[in-house]
Structure formats: structure tokens, C-alpha cells
Amino acid sequence: MMHLRSASTAAAIAIVLSIAGCGQAARSEFSNVGQGGTPPAFGSSGSSGSSGSSATGSMPPASFGPAAPSSDGGTSLAVSACGSGVSTTVSGTVYDPAGKNPLYGVAVYVPKSKPDPLKLGATCDSCSGLYSGSPVAAAVTDAAGKFTMQNVPDGNGIPLVIQIGKWRKQMTIPNVAPCHDNPLPDKSLTLPKNQKEGDIPNIAISTGGADSLECLLLRVGVDPAEYTPGAAGPGRIHIFQGAAKTGKAPNTSPAAPSSPVALWTSAQELMQYDITLLSCEGEETVGRNQQALYDYTAAGGRAFASHFHYAWFNTGPFGSQNLATWYPGVNAWGHLDGQVLTTLPNGQPFPKGIAMNQWLANVGALTGVFCP
């Protein structure tokens, strides 16, 4: 069992999500399935009405049972003909692994066949590649984590997948009654907290003296058993000790390797991770390899950075990308108020911004206390 030594957390005053290269054009979102058995489309919009590996599969909760196989290797599914304006629907709310925070933008669908295994590491994926299993009904959660899926096959043991990126849980609904809504019990739909429950992306975390991102995933319900020091081990959360001249970055017990030596030493080391979280060290990162991080994000990897991590992006290969206006060094900005943009520069509504603003309000994240 690996134990985490805690560290005090200072507030990060600037946050950067770095996604360069391949992913932007290839990625789209799940939308509802069309009428008459039309295969699911992958475009914009969420569900009406109420709104992401392991190749080992998942273990559904005890209240869910197996779906019946069909002769073609898929699942025997049929949608009953209902009256005009009537549909068989399934509704519910999707939460984080802890069952506390409702989640926006999660795909919920009924697959005809067992979804394909998810490949670990930086990849450029289309929705047709990530959301597999030939979905026959689908919806996306709204800013309150709610969804209503239309034209759902009815009967016993209907398979269900909840997924956002490479975070995925497979389960079955015991019974779907035809021609009316079938609400699923609250808190029954959560992202998996470990690989026994489903698929979890491969995540690298570099610790720091000014952030505690290594604790963030525990707070949202990820099983501590998924934590492992360094790249080895069966867990999905890989801890590395961050680099700083002051040496304040916390470490694990047993000790994790140093980030400059074992994490960002090359793009090849980073490529095995779907997501890389960089905790702020309280100063500019020592021994950073800007080219490795650039190549990683260009290949579809996700990197989270904050505060003094501007040093990764204001020079080197990221410097020409015009990501932001940077103010290097220590800046005594005091309390900062952020604004979620809900309109485009032309004055038109920005649906993603509107939804994010609503979601932040729903989970109580629009106000907070500044920690100097």
C-alpha cells in the first residue's frame, strides 16, 4: 500500500489547459440518436428534456444483471412502437466516482455489442473510436448532470454505458418498460472509482509545494489503491515528485521518482499517459523539457498546468502558439475575480460557456476563499 504525505495547498492564480495539435478537429460530442433506428450521430447538443484503459471490462453493481446475447454476437434489443409523441425513455443523473458532484458532458448510451477496449496513452481519437459498441440510443448530460435518452430498447437486461473520454463504466438496467420514462435511481450512475468498476484513464501527477493535485482525484472518489509511485504498477494514478530549487514537492512512501528524470525526460515517457497533471512548485519548474511536453500534447495528450507553469509555455516550442499573454515572475495580484464567458465576440450566445457557468453554479464553485 502506498501512502501519500500531505502538503499544504496554495491557491493557483492562473490555470492553463494545454491541448495542441491533433485532437481539436477529430473530436466531437455525442448527440441523441435519430428516429427510426438511425445510428447515433456524433455532433453538438445535449439531451432534451432535462437536460470518458483497462481491457478487463467492468463489474456492474449487484442491482444490475446481464443483457441477453443475440445470434449476431451483439445484444438482442428491440424498440417498441409507441403512440404518436410517445417514446420509451431512460433518464437519470451522472456523478463523479464519489457520487457527490453531477457531471456535465458525459455520454450515456445503449450499445448493441460490447464496447471495444480503450487504448491507454496519448491518442487522437474520434468519437466513433472512443464510443464503441454500435450505440442504438444515446444522450449527453446537461449542466446539472441530467439526461433523458429517447427511443430506448425495452425489456430485461438492457446494457448501458456512461463515458467521458477514457473514463467509462458498463452496466445493465434490470428492466426498461416500454412507452414511458424509466428513471434510474439517484446516485446509481457514477464514473468508476477503480478498474474493478470500469475504465480509468492513465494519469501522471507531478507533485508540487504550492498545489496538491495528487489529492484532487481522491477527493472526487478515486480509489487510493489506484495510486502507484512512478510508471510501474497496476494502478492508473502514477505519482512523480516535482522539481523545484526549494525542494518542497512532497513525495510518496515508498518514494516516487523525480519528474525530470522519469516523467518529462522525453516525449516517449509522457506518451503512456492520457492526462498529465502538473502541480505548481511555487516557482518556475526546474529541469523542464518543453519539447517533450509539446510533442505529447500534439499527439493527443492532455496537460494541466497552473501559476508558475507559464515557464513551460512562454518560450520554446509553445512560445510561437500564442496561447496567452504571460507575466513572468512573482506577481502580487491579490484576490482575482474570474469571468466565465457566455457570449462570443460577435455577441452571439456561447453554449459551452453558458453550460460551464451553470455547472460551476450547480456544484458551488463560483465563489470561494482566496488563500494567500
- Residue 45: the pLDDT is 30
- Tell me, yes or no, whether 233 lies in a domain: yes
- Tell me, yes or no, whether 26 lies in a domain: no
Q: Which one is predicted more confidently, 86 or 323?
A: 86
Q: Does one domain contain both 110 and 228?
A: no
- Residue 335: the pLDDT is 73
The strand pair at 89-93 and 181-183 is best described as parallel
Mean pLDDT of 122-149: 92
242 residue type, one letter: G
- Tell me, yes or no, whether 269 lies in a domain: yes
Q: Does one domain contain both 158 and 41?
A: yes
Q: Does one domain contain both 126 and 172?
A: yes
Q: Which domain, by its residues, includes 226?
A: 3-21+202-329
Q: Does one domain contain both 206 and 345?
A: no
3-class SS of residue 281: coil
- Tell me, yes or no, whether 311 lies in a domain: yes
pTM: 0.81
- Residue 54: the pLDDT is 33
Q: Does one domain contain both 214 and 311?
A: yes
What whole-number distance in Å separates Cα of residue 228 and Cα of residue 292? 23
- Tell me, yes or no, whether 128 lies in a domain: yes
Instruction: Give how many domains the chain has, as a whole number.
Output: 3
Q: Does one domain contain both 273 and 314?
A: yes
Q: What is the pLDDT of residues 305-324, one digit of tens each?
A: 988 899 999 999 999 888 88
- Tell me, yes or no, whether 132 lies in a domain: yes
- Tell me, yes or no, whether 372 lies in a domain: no
Q: Between vectors from CA 170 to CA 168 and to CA 175, what angle results, nearest 5°?
A: 145
Residues facing residue 17 across a β-bridge: 304
Mean pLDDT of 227-248: 88
Q: Does one domain contain both 317 and 362?
A: no
What whole-number distance in Å separates Cα of residue 238 and Cα of residue 264? 13
Q: Does one domain contain both 139 and 233?
A: no
What whole-number distance in Å separates Cα of residue 137 and Cα of residue 38? 9
Give the CATH number, domain containing residue 156. Answer: 2.60.40.10
